[in-house]
A and B are shown apart, each in its own frame.
Chain A
Amino acid sequence: MIKYVVRRMIQAIPVLFLITVFTFLLMHVQGNPAQRFAQNARVTQAQIAAFEHRWGLDDPLPLQYCKWLGVCGDKPIVVNVLPPALGGGDNGILHGDFGYSVFDGRLVTDVIAQRMLPTLILTVTAYLIWVTIAILAGVYAAVKRYSLFDSGLTIFNYVGYSLPTFWLGLMLITFLSVPPLRWFPASGMNDPYTTPAFGTDSYWVFFGQNPFFAIFDLGRHLVLPVLTLVTVSIAGDSRFVRSSMLDSLNQDYVKTARAKGVPERRVVLRHALRNALLPVITNVGLEIPFLFSGAIVTETIFAWPGMGRQFIESVGHTDYPVLMGILLIAAVSIVFANLLADVLYAVVDPRVKYD
């Protein structure tokens, strides 16, 4: 088992390496950033050259990549890769150095760290809710096939699956956040009139003083973005669960269980469900990437101060270091989510061989 996990992780290394190459190239498609001064008559060629030298832009591209990665640096290559504590270098993403935002000069790691928690709160809440509901609804619809519930779910799935996430968000705001209803706030994580901005030091002080109010306020702001994500995601997932469960219920071993005299409830919940959930586990794991695109969409619509919104803002500022940082974190999470899905599948399905 441990061997299997280790082997899968080793297999992930080339992909991770190529992801860094791709991200690096993606951010260089726009050309040399120093050239943006070239139009400015007051900037001399010497100043541009000095700027390029200061930021290492005069290095050949492979060397720039090597430095950005942290393999090359002030120290010899082999030594530079090591952690600083072992005498290695401190530059490059391998050492956690993602550079500085060109927009506001903050450390990229600080910018991302500040935006990480809101994204996690939003996506994890939505994910847990939608996976739970999708499994319950899908299984129930499969067991009660052709019932009113089943037909209703099928219609909901078709419609939900066809709803663009961002438009659903807009519609929820249009009809639930503005007069006459005004049930739920349309944007942000907390009420700006009563609460300090989320994530600031004063917010946590406020949180400590009024925990119930702060959580209630956060919950109120979560309703619409979570509802948006959950609605569109349940559609695809419950359909998958339903067909997996139907498939499982049609298998011979379910008939065997019935022929043994196993009560119907137990046939469904033990014999059929265990098997039906195997593909669901993989599917749910493979959906983690969609959390990122889901986040980018919902966070934009609902002004949720998370990584997705930061990404859109940084695209607007052409803030490449921050964009690279977010892209890398997203891509690496996706690789590990896939790995997790595989390992989980291997754990629950006795037929998977580890070696």
Chain B
Amino acid sequence: MTAISPAGGADPGATVPDRPLLDVRGLRTYFHVMDGTVKAVDGVDFSIPPGGTVGLVGESGCGKSVTAHSIMRLIDIPPGEIAGGEIWFDGRDLLKLSDSEMRHVRGGEIAMVFQEPMTSLNPVFTIGDQISEAILLHNDVNKKEAAERAIESLKAVGVSAPERRVKQYPHELSGGMRQRAMIAMALSCNPKLVIADEPTTALDVTIQAQILELIKALQARTGTALLLITHDLAVVAETVQTIAVMYAGRIVEAGTVDQVLLAPQHPYTQGLLNSIPGVKKRGRALSVIKGVVPNPFRLPPGCKFQPRCPYAWEACSASEPELLPAPNGAKSRCYLHSPEGAGRREAFEKSVAATMESVGG
């Protein structure tokens, strides 16, 4: 998760080896609403290498979707505002692009798959129309070629009888089929990055697995980078290489899948893992994180998780910790990894070990 500065930055043509495809730095997205300002995203940093896969995990309201929408600049302004930060994509800061430049990025270089396939497709246009619209916008093709490419892209996502499907309206397709169509639409212009915002949440469990397999397979085949946003740790475990856990608009833990899921370094991540029903926990009550997500208008002082954290002490409410390197190489926004927290780490690690035991690896 080390942020690598792009050389010069202003020159989009310059290709630098090892440069991340997407590099989000200090992103702040606020919403000014009647009752005050919601700092939905408040200082988020992460990056995705070309072809890499990153999972952004957290409870609803933690800012993960807002992060995704900020990258696409799909935040409604007002009431929203991108109050600070940079979003470097392929050598350009997306936040500095003009609207028309940004339009070419959207759909052409970064594509997005949304949560609700039921409502994300326009009910009054055929599937074919909607896919070829994207193709026509970003490629120099005529309508007939675009229609053919739409059929091909449907075929690529495993839709049966695509020639017939393109003439159908969204309501004539099942939820899984619609999500496949959304994915086909996202991939139809060969984007460098696909952002999938809870792509399986609204689907049946069996369909969920199919769609995840599909995303994984397509990602491997096309080499597209993937930013997967989900509240479901099981989903990221199977699909991505690195994970960033968000809480109250911040990344609280970041590392590889193995680091984060096998040896969580933040009490919040541990709590999330603890609340997964596991085979070995049968018959026992599920443990949940005590308390609720803090009121966005009145975030607690210091660490935002501190009021719910079983390990918190005075330092935690005095100031907010940075993302600190943890012993296993991951990063964690927790004072347990500061020199002052060393004494308390043993209790935490013991508890984590118990958690991992009960989750069953």
Given the complex, which residues of A lie within 8 Å of B119, measured CB to CB? 251-253
Q: Determine whether the beta carbon of B121 is less than 8 Å from that of A256.
A: yes
Given the complex, which residues of B lie within 8 Å of A259, measured CB to CB? 72, 74, 106-107, 111-112, 114
Q: Determine whether the beta carbon of A252 is less than 8 Å from that of B103.
A: no
If A252-B116, A275-B123, A350-B124 touch, whether A261 touches B74 (CB-CB below 8 Å) is no
Given the complex, which residues of B lie within 8 Å of A264, measured CB to CB? 99
Interface status of B299 (Cβ within 8 A of chain A): no
Q: Determine whether the beta carbon of B120 is less than 8 Å from that of A252.
A: yes
If A264-B99, A351-B169 touch, whether A256 touches B122 (CB-CB below 8 Å) is yes
Interface status of A271 (Cβ within 8 A of chain B): yes
If A252-B116, A263-B103 touch, whether A350 touches B169 (CB-CB below 8 Å) is yes
Count of chain A residues with a beta carbon within 8 Å of a chain B beta carbon: 22
Within 8 A of A (CB), among B36-90: 72, 74, 78
Query: Whose C-beta in chain B lies nearest to the C-beta of A272?
Result: B122
Interface status of A7 (Cβ within 8 A of chain B): no
If A350-B169, A351-B169 touch, whether A261 touches B103 (CB-CB below 8 Å) is yes
Given the complex, which residues of B lie within 8 Å of A348, measured CB to CB? 124
Interface status of B133 (Cβ within 8 A of chain A): yes
Interface status of A281 (Cβ within 8 A of chain B): no
Map CB proximity to B onto A338-355 as digits: 1 under 8 Å, 0 otherwise.
000000000011110000
Q: Determine whether the beta carbon of B169 is less than 8 Å from that of A261.
A: no
Q: Determine whether the beta carbon of A260 is less than 8 Å from that of B122.
A: no
Interface status of B149 (Cβ within 8 A of chain A): no
Query: Whose C-beta in chain B lies nearest to the C-beta of A253?
Result: B122
Given the complex, which residues of B lie within 8 Å of A350, measured CB to CB? 123-124, 169, 171
Interface status of B345 (Cβ within 8 A of chain A): no
Q: Determine whether the beta carbon of B134 is less than 8 Å from that of A255.
A: no
In the bound complex, CA of A237 to CA of B106 (Å): 35
Interface status of B137 (Cβ within 8 A of chain A): yes
Q: Determine whether the beta carbon of A257 is less than 8 Å from that of B122.
A: yes
Q: Determine whether the beta carbon of B169 is less than 8 Å from that of A256.
A: no
Which of B78, B123, B124, B134 is within 8 Å of A260, CB to CB? Answer: B134
Given the complex, which residues of B lie within 8 Å of A260, measured CB to CB? 106-107, 111, 133-134, 137, 185
Interface status of A95 (Cβ within 8 A of chain B): no
Given the complex, which residues of A lie within 8 Å of B72, measured CB to CB? 258-259
Which of B106, B107, B121 is within 8 Å of A253, CB to CB? Answer: B121
Which of A258, A278, A349 is within 8 Å of B106, CB to CB? Answer: A258
Query: Whose C-beta in chain A lies nearest to the C-beta of B104?
Result: A261
Which of A263, A271, A349 is within 8 Å of B122, CB to CB? Answer: A271
| B interface, size bucket | 20 to 34
If A253-B121, A255-B120, A351-B171 touch, whether A261 touches B78 (CB-CB below 8 Å) is no
Q: Determine whether the beta carbon of A262 is less than 8 Å from that of B122.
A: no
CB distance from A57 to the nearest CB of B (A): 57
Interface status of A144 (Cβ within 8 A of chain B): no
Given the complex, which residues of A lie within 8 Å of B114, measured CB to CB? 252, 255-256, 259
Given the complex, which residues of B lie within 8 Å of A278, measured CB to CB? 124
Which of A252, A256, A262, A275 is within 8 Å of B124, CB to CB? Answer: A275
Q: Determine whether the beta carbon of B185 is less than 8 Å from that of A274.
A: no
Interface status of A146 (Cβ within 8 A of chain B): yes
CB distance from B193 to the nearest CB of A (A): 12
Interface status of B308 (Cβ within 8 A of chain A): no
Within 8 A of A (CB), among B116-131: 116, 119-125, 130
CB distance from B166 to the nearest CB of A (A): 14
Interface status of B108 (Cβ within 8 A of chain A): yes
If A253-B119, A253-B121, A350-B124 touch, whether A258 touches B74 (CB-CB below 8 Å) is yes
Given the complex, which residues of B lie within 8 Å of A262, measured CB to CB? 103, 107, 133, 137
Q: Determine whether the beta carbon of B134 is less than 8 Å from that of A261.
A: yes
Which of B74, B78, B130 is within 8 Å of A255, CB to CB? Answer: B74
Given the complex, which residues of A lie within 8 Å of B133, measured CB to CB? 257, 260, 262
Q: Determine whether the beta carbon of B112 is less than 8 Å from that of A349.
A: no
If A262-B133, A350-B169 touch, whether A256 touches B120 (CB-CB below 8 Å) is yes
Given the complex, which residues of B lie within 8 Å of A253, measured CB to CB? 119-123
Query: Whose C-beta in chain A lies nearest to the C-beta of B123?
Result: A351
Given the complex, which residues of A lie within 8 Å of B122, measured CB to CB? 253, 256-257, 271, 274-275
In the bound complex, CA of A7 to CA of B250 (Å): 59
Query: Whose C-beta in chain B lies nearest to the C-beta of A251?
Result: B119
CB distance from B123 to the nearest CB of A (A): 6
Most buried by B among A252, A260, A274: A260
Map CB proximity to B onto A62-98 as digits: 1 under 8 Å, 0 otherwise.
0000000000000000000000000000000000000
CB distance from B210 to the nearest CB of A (A): 21
Given the complex, which residues of A lie within 8 Å of B124, measured CB to CB? 274-275, 278, 348-350
In the bound complex, CA of A252 to CA of B107 (Å): 15
CB distance from B70 to the nearest CB of A (A): 13
Query: Whose C-beta in chain A lies nearest to the C-beta of B182?
Result: A256
Which of B120, B123, B130, B137 is within 8 Å of A261, CB to CB? Answer: B137
In the bound complex, CA of A66 to CA of B112 (Å): 67
Query: Whose C-beta in chain B lies nearest to the C-beta of A146?
Result: B78
CB distance from B143 to the nearest CB of A (A): 15
CB distance from B167 to the nearest CB of A (A): 11
In the bound complex, CA of A257 to CA of B100 (Å): 15
In the bound complex, CA of A275 to CA of B111 (Å): 24
Interface status of B105 (Cβ within 8 A of chain A): yes
Query: Whose C-beta in chain A lies nearest to the C-beta of B118?
Result: A252
In the bound complex, CA of A135 to CA of B126 (Å): 25
A-B residue pairs, 6 tightest by C-beta: A261-B107, A260-B107, A261-B106, A253-B122, A252-B119, A259-B112
26 A–B contacts from the bound complex (CB under 8 Å): A251-B119, A252-B116, A252-B120, A253-B119, A253-B120, A253-B123, A256-B114, A256-B122, A256-B185, A257-B133, A259-B114, A260-B106, A260-B133, A260-B134, A261-B103, A261-B108, A261-B134, A261-B138, A263-B100, A263-B103, A271-B122, A348-B124, A350-B123, A350-B169, A350-B171, A351-B123
Q: Which residues of A come within 8 Å of B, CB atoms? A: 146, 251-253, 255-264, 271, 274-275, 278, 348-351
Instruction: Given contacts A260-B134, A262-B103, list 17 more A-B pairs with CB under 8 A.
Output: A251-B119, A252-B116, A255-B120, A256-B112, A256-B114, A256-B122, A257-B122, A257-B133, A259-B106, A259-B107, A259-B111, A260-B133, A260-B137, A261-B105, A274-B124, A275-B124, A350-B124
